[in-house]
Protein backbone atom coordinates (compact mmCIF):
# COMPACT_ATOMS: atom_id res chain seq x y z
CA UNK A 1 0.00 0.00 0.00
CA UNK A 2 1.33 3.43 -0.85
CA UNK A 3 1.46 6.16 1.76
CA UNK A 4 -1.25 8.78 1.40
CA UNK A 5 0.03 12.27 0.67
CA UNK A 6 -0.05 14.92 3.36
CA UNK A 7 -2.93 16.60 1.50
CA UNK A 8 -5.06 13.44 1.36
CA UNK A 9 -4.23 12.75 5.02
CA UNK A 10 -5.69 16.09 6.05
CA UNK A 11 -8.72 15.44 3.84
CA UNK A 12 -9.14 12.04 5.46
CA UNK A 13 -9.04 13.56 8.93
CA UNK A 14 -11.58 16.24 8.00
CA UNK A 15 -13.91 13.73 6.33
CA UNK A 16 -13.72 11.37 9.30
CA UNK A 17 -14.57 14.19 11.69
CA UNK A 18 -17.51 15.21 9.49
CA UNK A 19 -18.87 11.64 9.37
CA UNK A 20 -18.38 11.16 13.13
CA UNK A 21 -20.63 14.18 13.71
CA UNK A 22 -23.51 12.06 12.38
CA UNK A 23 -23.78 13.64 8.94
CA UNK A 24 -23.81 11.86 5.58
CA UNK A 25 -21.56 12.84 2.70
CA UNK A 26 -21.81 12.56 -1.09
CA UNK A 27 -19.08 13.09 -3.65
CA UNK A 28 -20.36 16.52 -4.66
CA UNK A 29 -20.52 17.62 -1.02
CA UNK A 30 -16.98 16.31 -0.47
CA UNK A 31 -15.75 18.33 -3.43
CA UNK A 32 -17.22 21.57 -2.14
CA UNK A 33 -16.42 21.02 1.57
CA UNK A 34 -13.05 19.29 1.44
CA UNK A 35 -11.73 19.83 -2.08
CA UNK A 36 -11.60 16.15 -2.97
CA UNK A 37 -13.07 14.70 -6.12
CA UNK A 38 -12.08 11.18 -4.97
CA UNK A 39 -14.37 10.55 -2.01
CA UNK A 40 -14.44 6.78 -2.55
CA UNK A 41 -10.62 6.71 -2.33
CA UNK A 42 -10.67 8.76 0.87
CA UNK A 43 -13.30 6.40 2.37
CA UNK A 44 -11.11 3.43 1.40
CA UNK A 45 -8.14 5.07 3.16
CA UNK A 46 -10.22 5.56 6.31
CA UNK A 47 -11.50 1.98 6.33
CA UNK A 48 -8.12 0.33 5.75
CA UNK A 49 -5.55 2.54 7.50
CA UNK A 50 -5.05 1.82 11.20
CA UNK A 51 -4.15 5.47 11.86
CA UNK A 52 -7.85 6.32 11.50
CA UNK A 53 -9.07 3.44 13.66
CA UNK A 54 -10.70 1.62 10.73
CA UNK A 55 -14.18 3.08 11.29
CA UNK A 56 -17.26 1.36 9.98
CA UNK A 57 -18.58 3.49 7.14
CA UNK A 58 -21.47 2.38 4.98
CA UNK A 59 -22.27 3.42 1.45
CA UNK A 60 -25.76 3.52 0.07
CA UNK A 61 -27.30 4.76 -3.13
CA UNK A 62 -29.68 7.70 -2.81
CA UNK A 63 -31.58 9.86 -5.28
CA UNK A 64 -30.53 13.50 -5.39
CA UNK A 65 -32.16 15.78 -7.93
CA UNK A 66 -33.20 12.79 -10.05
CA UNK A 67 -29.69 11.28 -10.02
CA UNK A 68 -28.44 8.24 -8.15
CA UNK A 69 -25.36 8.99 -6.05
CA UNK A 70 -23.37 7.24 -3.34
CA UNK A 71 -23.82 8.58 0.17
CA UNK A 72 -21.45 7.63 2.98
CA UNK A 73 -22.20 7.63 6.71
CA UNK A 74 -20.86 6.11 9.90
CA UNK A 75 -22.45 2.84 11.03
CA UNK A 76 -24.16 3.35 14.38
Burial of residue 6 (CB within 10 Å: 0-12, 13-18, 19+) is exposed
Length of the chain: 76
Global pTM value: 0.86
Q: What is the pLDDT of residues 11-69, one digit of tens each?
A: 999 999 999 999 999 999 999 999 999 999 999 999 999 999 999 999 999 999 899 99
Phi, psi for 35 (deg, rounded to 5): 75, 20
Residue 9's pLDDT band, with cuts at 50, 70 and 90, is confident
Amino acid sequence: MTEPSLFSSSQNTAILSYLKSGRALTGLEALSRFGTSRLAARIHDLKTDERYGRPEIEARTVNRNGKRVAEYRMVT
